[in-house]
Every structure is written in structure tokens, then in C-alpha cells.
Amino acid sequence: MTAGDGTVQVRGRDGSHAVVHHPGAVISAEDWTGAALGLGFQMATDRPGQLDFLRRSARGRLAQLVGRDALDADVRQRRLGLEAVARRCLTLLPPDQVRLLDAFTDGVNTALRQRGSAMTWAPVDCVHVAQVLFQAMGSNGSELHMTEVMRRSLPSAVVDFLLDAADGYATAPDGSPEVDVGVPLPLAELRVLFRQPADQSGGPVVADPRPAGSNAWAVAAPDGAVLANDMHLQLGDPALMYVVRLRVGETEVSGVTVPGLPVVLAGTNGRVAWGLTRLPGDTADLRSLGPQDLADVEVRRETIEIRGESPVTVEVTQSRWGPVTSTLAGEPVAFTATLLDPRALDFGLLRLCDAADVETALDIVNDCGLPPVNAIVADAAGRVGWTVGGRFPHRAEAGRPRGFSDAQEPVPYRFVPPHELPRLVGPPTGMVVNCNNGNHAVRRAGLAWNLPPGIRARRVAVGVDGGGRDAAAARDLQLDVDASCYEFYRDLALRYLPPEPRTAALREIREDVMAWGGTAHAREPGLALLTVFRELLREALVAAATGPARALDDRFTYCFAGAEGPLRRLVAAVPDGLVPAPWRDDRHFVVGQLLMARMMLLRDVGTDRLPQWGQRNRLHLVPLAGYPPEAVDLELSGCAETVRVAQPDYGAVMRLVVDLGRPGDSSVCIPGSPREGVPMAEAVRSWAVGYGQPLTVVPAGYSG
């Protein structure tokens, strides 16, 4: 019911009540159940199409909405059986969380009925939305498949080198550098592999891990603490994140979440602020199935409806070790993960809304059923902390690369107890930081091993040390585009390019590289060439080092997140004869990669001269099915290695800054408008240059 002042009164079947105040969509209620009711109503008012899209994504029912383009994704989801997992998860939730989901569902369905929609939401759909995040942030087993193939086909010294976790940018949770010692370069074994003819069949050998990540840090300030969090996922229309503002009694909570979730993923209650980053956890297992295992499998048929076409029937095979999702050397391979464990997911994160200090908040995060995450926390007393959240399988070997699991290992998982998860509170540096990078504490605890380098975390730590400790400084650092990590490849190019090139192509390459200013600004010359140059070097060198792996498995890919360390050592060994066939020597090889990089850029960008960075790094939004997007074509500053992460279709789905000492300086920024059907081009342009909005909005006439 809408009042004359623009507020909306919402009542649930259980008697719960909420008021949605406009403008600002501030939801007030007597308790968190009522707040969930109002939140469900407001989300279904603003984002009904996105709610449907997200739940269909988990269930494998997108093709029914968008057609054949979604068929492969639907087949994958049906094989995983997430619908059955979600139903079991719902039966395991504590009663207070069930009430929360029931109230949220009432709010969604109330709004849908008012819109005349035939769609109906159910509590299990909230679980499905959580599963979408689990899947985006968790392991799909690709790193296990990679390791198994390498161990079956390559010398052990080569495997250890290619999966070496040593990181020249290693950064501890308190922002200080960590020292890593790398394994020896197996030059003799690599020379043997490099002499073998290159396999030109199939696709690329190197595959970057799936793009999902975040930056987060918190720093003690003179009158409190400042927390910054920007989450990186696929960019789309509408934006993935949704701004939340709740008032329950004297508690005011502001932050962001994903439509369909009745919890605040990152935000503040005025006493505590929290933010999350992805932790690429060791949360999956693959197992080869022998004849005896296959004798016990269950096979069922799934019918997938396709818009505008006849339905497709697929066979789904379930073993005692999980669904069969792939093969290796002719043997079926079963997959399992915390994604498929109904005990691993809950909605306990809502308890952060009542947290009073850092320790309480860290305890809550440790005990939540989440995707594997790092949590950065700060409180109004000026204390900061870091820990991890999620359910982590107990591993016998801590922090080492794993391939396939032994058939005797226990299923279901035995989880690491919450009190054994690592944490750090109040470090002398006055700072905590994580940008998806690994650290010694996480590796020692056996929580993860396929971790990205600490390039972004190191840059954040340096920026905090050298800058201010207020909200304005945090926003500036979120937009930092320092790309000095590419100096290695610039220096390599200039070392091999002749000082006075004879050909026009080489002259252009040298001028372009020398003009690069060290950043990933959209107007920078040189970086586009350097990024493609690096990709080509990596592909050629890794393909030469892993030829037998591709011979064993023609779908083999090297998806090691820490590949930068081994790559730089391979490049450094090129003058020692580590040159892939059929190149004659190191100079021909390096200059050849530069010429190919130029040719590929000119072809892809469609210009007759080397492009500036933004001409290659253009944003093209992915529209939601059935939702007409407004055309947005932007040149983006930033890249995967800068604090300001930006790639085509991928970047910061939100930027949040909380200043607990000066709440009015807190801000939030999302790449788009809050509602479907509203032109969003201007909002995306504002996001691209870093403009945000106040985090807390007080509605006119609101008296508290």
C-alpha cells in the first residue's frame, strides 16, 4: 500500500511489517525479518527480470528464456544437479533463517502481484541465487584436471616449476612483503621438451582462470577506520549489485548485495564495516571412475526446454563421488565440491548487521556458509582485521597443488573447524589488505594453492602507506591505474629491438613501447602491444614446456593463477637456448612475438596503426535476457593487474568506501541504474570515471 508521502507499507503473511521510504529506498522495520520482507518487495519492484535470470542460471533453465545460446550452460548445470542440492540445503537451515527467507519471499511475491506478473518466487530461489555466487567464486575443478594431466605426462621437476607458488609480489594480510623462495629452474628437462615439434592443433594451451575477484583493505584512521571494497565480476545490464539501506530499531545498515539475497554482502552498521574478496579455495575434487565405480552409477534423463525450438534430452550420470562431468584418457571423471554440499551454504551473514566490534564480526564470518572468501573488517574504535569465510575441506597436504583425489578419501567432506581458520586483528601496520592474493597463513592452513600473485595487494599497501587514510584517499586508490608490472615486458622488448629499426613495422613497435607511461590509462600508447606480447610469449613458452600434456589430453589447458612467476623465469632463460621450435634463436623469437602482437592488434581493433589502450579495452555490456539495454560503448582505464580492474565486460560491479569516523564521507558506486527499464548509459559513464553516491540516504520527512 502506497501512502501519500511516497512511502510503501508492506505486510507479510506472518504479521511482519516494513516501510519503504522514497527517495533512497530506505527500508525500516521492527526486526530483521521485517527488513527482509521490505527488501524482497523493493528488489522485485526494481529488478524482477534479474531475479528470474539468476535463479534460472543455477537451475539450468535459461534456454527456456533466451534460446539455444544458453543450452551449453543449462546442460552443465543439470549435470551438477544444483536444484536437488538447494532443496536439501533449505531443510538444513536454522529456523530463524527459514523465517528470513519466508519473509523475503512474501515481499517478492507481493511486488510481483502488484506488477501483474505471473512469476512466483520461493524460498529455495534465494538458495539458487547464492549458488550462482558460489559457482562464480568457487572451483570448477579445472586446476585439478590440469595438475593431474601434467603429473601423468611431464617430468616431476617441470611440474613443480610450472606450479611454483613463489611470488615476487607476495603480500601479507597486514600489507607487508612476504618472502617466497622458488624451486630451481629445470633447464635440462625443459630443453628436451623445447626441442620437440610444437603441436599446432587445438586451441590455446594457456587459459586464464575465470575472472572473479575483488580488492579490499581497511586502515586505522585518527578518528575511526576506513574500509574500501570493490568487487570484480562480469559487467551487465542491469548491474549485478544492488544498494541496500535498512533501519531496524536504532541500527542503520547500508551496503550492497545481489538481488535475491536477504543479506548485506559488504557494508556497515555504523559500528562495524565489512567487505569481501574472493579466495580461490581448494574446495573441489576430481576422481577417475573405474569399472567397479561405473557399475554403481545412477543415470537419469533431463529435458531442457529451448525457446523457439524442440526440447533437448540429456543424460546425467551420478556416481557416489559426485556427477560425472568430464573424461581423461578415456576414463569418466566425477566432480564434487562444497558447491554440491548442502551443509556449505547458509544465510548467517545477516548477523553482521548487529556486530559491535572486529572480533564479533570475524567470529560471524568464520561460522558462515559462504563461498570461499577473504573478509576485511573495521570498527569505530579504529581496529581492523582479516580472516576467511566459508566451509573448507580438511586437506592432508597443506597448500600444495593437487590432481585427482584418491577413491578412499572421505565423502562428504570433513570441514576445517571455524576456530581453526586464520585471522589477523590489529596489526602494527594499522592496515589489512587482500586482493585475492595468497598468503602464508592461507597456504599453511591448506585452504588454497591456486592463488593469483599479489600485484594489486602490493600496490594497495604501498598506496596506503604513501597516501592519506581517509575516504577520499581510498576512492582515489580504487581508481589507481599504475601498471608498472609491465615494465618487465617493455624492457624485454627494448632489449631485443634494434635501436634504429629498418622496417616501418619495427619502428612503430619501438616508438609505441617507448611512449608508454607506465599506466593503464585509456589514452596510453604501448600497453595494448605489451599485453598481447606477454600473452604470445606465455602461450609459446608454456606450450613448448607442456607438449606431452596436450598429447595425453587434447583439451589440456594451463590455468595456474600464479603463472606470472614461472613465465618470467622462462623468459629469462630464453637467451640460454630455451627457444620454442621452430624459432632459430632468442632474437628471432622475441622480435617475432612483437611483430605478431602488432599484426593481431591491427586486425582486432581495425586500425592501421597501433591503438591506445582504451581502443582495445572497450566496455560492451552483456544485456539481461529480454531486457532492452541502452547502447554503451566506453574506453576503459585499468587492466587485470591494476588496482582499478577493468576489462571488456568485466570489472568493478561495485565500489564501496566506508569511513566510520566520518559517515557522511562514505560512498557507493555501481555501474548502472538501480532499476530495470531505466536508461543506464549516463550512470555507467559516471561509474567509469569513479563518481559515486552517498552510502546513506535519509529520506525527506523521516524522523527515525
pLDDT tens digits, residue range 593-607?
Answer: 999 999 999 999 998
Q: How does residue 467 score in pLDDT terms, banded at 50, 70 and 90?
A: confident
Task: Name the phi and psi angles at 447, rounded to 5.
Answer: -90, -25
Cα dihedral value 170, 175, 177, 180, nearest 10: -30
What's the angle, vertex CA 61, arms to CA 56 and CA 66, rounded to 5?
90
- Specify whether the CB–CB gap between 376 and 277 falls below 8 A: yes
Q: How does residue 212 score in pLDDT terms, banded at 50, 70 and 90?
A: confident
Mean pLDDT computed over 171-194: 94
User: Which residues on adjacent β-strands are paired with residue 322?
Assistant: 319
Q: Give residue 264's identity as a one-letter amino acid code.
A: V
pLDDT of residue 622: 62
| Runs of H (alpha helix) within 93-224 | 95-115, 123-137, 142-153, 156-162, 187-194
Conformation bin of residue 628: beta by default, left when phi > 0, alpha when psi is -120 to 50: beta
Mean pLDDT computed over 658-684: 89
pLDDT of residue 3: 53
- Cα–Cα distance between 556 and 559 in angstroms, integer? 9
Q: Where are the domains of the chain?
A: 10-137, 142-167+484-518+523-616
DSSP 181: -
Q: How does residue 703 score in pLDDT terms, banded at 50, 70 and 90?
A: very low
- Specify whether the CB–CB gap between 148 and 159 falls below 8 A: no
pLDDT at residue 700 greater than cutoff 50: no
pLDDT of residue 292: 85
pLDDT of residue 632: 81
State the catalytic residue, choosing from 16, 139, 153, 214. Answer: 214
**Closest to 392 in 3D by CA, of 369, 376, 375:** 369
Mean pLDDT computed over 481-493: 98
**Closest to 488 in 3D by CA, of 595, 569, 596, 544:** 569
Helical packing angle, 487-496 and 564-572, nearest 10° = 20
- Cα–Cα distance between 554 and 303 in angstroms, integer? 30
Among 76-85, 149-158, 461-470, the minimum mean pLDDT is found in 461-470
pLDDT of residue 5: 59
- Specify whether the CB–CB gap between 215 and 200 falls below 8 A: no
Q: How does residue 628 score in pLDDT terms, banded at 50, 70 and 90?
A: low
Cα distances (Å, whole numbers) of residue 700 to 160, 251, 456: 62, 19, 41
pLDDT of residue 180: 83
Measured from the Cβ of residue 319, the count of other Cβ atoms closer than 10 Å reads 19
- Cα–Cα distance between 592 and 606 in angstroms, integer? 21
DSSP 189-209: HHHHHHTSPP--SSS-SB-PP
At 233 the three-state DSSP class reads strand
DSSP 244-258: EEEEETTEEEEEEE-
- Specify whether the CB–CB gap between 631 and 623 falls below 8 A: no
- Specify whether the CB–CB gap between 417 and 396 falls below 8 A: no
DSSP 519: B
pLDDT of residue 654: 96
pLDDT at residue 701 greater than cutoff 50: no
Task: Say if residue 285 carries a ligand binding annotation.
Answer: yes
pLDDT at residue 354 greater than cutoff 60: yes
pLDDT of residue 408: 66
pLDDT at residue 510 greater than cutoff 90: yes
- Cα–Cα distance between 125 and 107 in angstroms, integer? 13
For the segment 281-321, what is each residue's pLDDT rounded down to a tens digit? 999 999 999 888 888 899 999 999 999 999 999 999 999 89
The rounded mean pLDDT for the chain is: 93
Measured from the Cβ of residue 361, the count of other Cβ atoms closer than 10 Å reads 25
- Percentage of residues in the chain having pLDDT higher than 90: 82
Please, what sign has the CA dihedral across residues 560, 656, 521, 174?
Answer: negative
pLDDT of residue 130: 98
SS (H, E, C) 355-414: CCCHHHHHHHHHCCCCCCEEEEEEECCCCEEEEEECCCECCCCCCCCCCCCCCCCCCCCC
326 in catalytic set: no
For the segment 368-424, what is each residue's pLDDT rounded down to a tens digit? 999 999 999 999 999 999 999 999 999 988 779 999 998 666 567 899 999 999 999
Reported pTM:
0.95
pLDDT of residue 702: 45
Task: Say if residue 164 carries a ligand binding annotation.
Answer: no
- In words, the CATH class of domain 10-137 is mainly alpha
pLDDT at residue 367 greater than cutoff 90: yes
Q: How does residue 674 score in pLDDT terms, banded at 50, 70 and 90?
A: confident
pLDDT of residue 399: 77
Q: How does residue 459 score in pLDDT terms, banded at 50, 70 and 90?
A: very high
Mean pLDDT computed over 265-290: 96
pLDDT of residue 181: 84
pLDDT of residue 621: 73
Mean pLDDT computed over 444-466: 95
pLDDT of residue 238: 84
- Which residue has better confidence, 245 or 412? 245
Cα distances (Å, whole numbers) of residue 371 to 117, 285, 338, 617: 32, 16, 8, 29
Q: Give residue 88's identity as a one-letter amino acid code.
A: R
Polymer length of the chain: 704
* Residue appearing with cell numbers 615476487: 168
